[in-house]
Amino acid sequence: MDNSCLFCRIVAGEIPATVVHRTETTLAFRDIDPKAPTHVLVIPVEHHADVVALATANPSAAADVLATAAAVAEAEGLTGDGFRVIFNTGAHGGQEVFHVHAHVVGGAPLGPMLA
C-alpha cells in the first residue's frame, strides 16, 4: 500500500467509497463525480501507477480488473445497450489518480468519445 495514494486508502477503508463489487484482487466503486448514469471505477487492490505498469508487473491482476469490469457492466445492466471501459493513462491521457483504474461508463448513449 502507498499511504499517499487515494485509491490505496479506499482499499484500506480509510476513505469511504460506495463499493459495488469486490474480489480478492480487485475493488469496484462508484466515481465521486459521475460522467454518465453509471460510472464505476475498477482497481486492482495492489498498487500500480497505470495500466502499462499493471500489465507489465502483474498480467493476471490486469485480467482480473477486466473480469471485474465485465461483472460490473453485467450487474449494472449495461451489456445490452453497450458501455465503455477506459484506462486514462499519463498526462496526455488525462489521468489524475495514479493508481490504475478502469472507468466503466454507460447507461446512456456516450457519443463518439468522452469529453
Contacting positions for ligand 5GP (CB under 6 A):
6, 15, 17, 29-33, 41, 88, 94-97
Nearer to ligand 5GP, 41 or 78 (CB): 41
Which residues form the interface with Zn ion (CB under 5 A)?
Answer: 2, 5, 7-8, 47, 99
Query: How far is residue 89's CA from residue 48's CA, in Å, rounded to a whole number?
Result: 12
Given the residues 21, 48, 101, 103, the one annotated as active site: 101
Residue 79 CB contacts under 8 Å (≥ 6 apart), including other chains: 73
* Nearest of 61, 59, 67 to residue 46 by alpha carbon: 61
Q: How far is the CB of 19 from ligand 5GP (least distance, A)?
A: 10
Q: 23: which 3 cell numbers? A: 474480489
Nearer to ligand 5GP, 24 or 33 (CB): 33
Show the DSSP H helices in 1-115 as ranges: 6-11, 51-57, 59-75
Q: Is 99 a catalytic residue?
A: no
Greatest CA span in the chain, whole angstroms? 39
Q: How far is the CB of 27 from ligand 5GP (least distance, A)?
A: 11
Q: How far is the CB of 79 from ligand 5GP (least distance, A)?
A: 22
Residues catalogued as catalytic? 101
